Amino acid sequence: MPPADTIFCAQQINIPTELPDILKQFTKAAIRTQPHDVLQWSAAYFSALSSGETLPVKERLEMPIATQKTDTGLTPGLLKILHKQLSPKGTVEKAELEQRWKELCLPKEQLNSIIELGNFATDIVWIEFLALGCSAMNGTITTSLKCACEILTADPEGGAARIPFETFTFLFTYLNKFDGEMPQDQIDSYLNSLKEEAKPQFGMVQPLNFAGLNRPKLPD
């Protein structure tokens, strides 16, 4: 071991060739994601990077949601991260969801509120949690469904945000239990009308379809 006062020149210091790019990508990810607790998020980031898991990183920098009167913590970008991490399992354990939520530095109170509203137990059906997560960020069932489409779609960002009609039917029916006042006969009529519009779109539904004025108005 060299003496404490030994001076090294640049040629003697070995910098791993991959280090600059790792730090560059990490910095860009932190700027896009804007975590409330940088150290906690950084630990999750490098843990995921080393194990080849989905990184806790937003696809783009988000601006504050204009319809939110207060900072709810959860944003569409953060919910999309959770979707990428947890949706492949279909049903997720509550403990894993709590850990992923913590890694994104989100408030535990908000998670507990969604879990209580959905009456979720140990195992949680992901798409149900996703639907209530969208509802927690939006004021109406229409905007909640639009948010869900934008997260679930395979279309590129800024595209039509299409999802299968069957998926929309589940989301609409499920959210209506909590947010809507539409009676069952009106639900059936609405979905039948929407199904006809989805047929020439290869069975897909997009926000433009359910925002139209030529069918029963979605409940606010």
pLDDT digits (tens, 9 = 90+) for 169-201: 999 999 998 866 778 888 899 999 999 999 999
Mean pLDDT calculated for residue range 7-29 = 85
Q: Is the distance from CB of 155 to CB of 182 less than 8 angstroms?
A: no
Residue 24 CA to residue 171 CA, distance in Å, equals 39
Amino acid symbol at 171: L
HEC profile for the chain? CCCCCCCCCHHHCCCCCCHHHHHHHHHHHHHHHCCCCHHHHHHHHHHHHHHCCCCCCCCCCCCCCCCCCCCCCCCHHHHHHHHHHHHHHCEEEHHHHHHHHHHCCCCHHHHHHHHHHHCCCCEEEHHHHHHHHHHHHCCCHHHHHHHHHHHHCCCCCCCCCCEEHHHHHHHHHHHHHHHCCCCHHHHHHHHHHHHHHHHHHCCEECHHHHCCCCCCCCCC
Mean pLDDT calculated for residue range 135-161 = 92
Tell me which residue of 117, 73, 124 sits closest to 98, measured CA to CA: 124
Q: Give the model's confidence band at 8: pLDDT under 50 very low, under 70 low, under 90 confident, else very high.
A: low
Reply yes or no on whether the pLDDT at 120 is more than 90: yes
Lowest-confidence region among 18-32, 41-55, 97-111, 171-185: 171-185
Q: Give the model's confidence band at 71: pLDDT under 50 very low, under 70 low, under 90 confident, else very high.
A: low
The sign of the CA dihedral 47, 49, 54, 56 is positive
Tell me which residue of 209, 70, 56 sits closest to 146, measured CA to CA: 209
pLDDT at 13: 78
Q: What percent of the chain is predicted at pLDDT more than 90?
A: 72
Q: Is the distance from CB of 74 to CB of 133 less than 8 angstroms?
A: yes
| Measured distance between the N- and C-terminal CA atoms of the chain, rounded to whole angstroms | 71
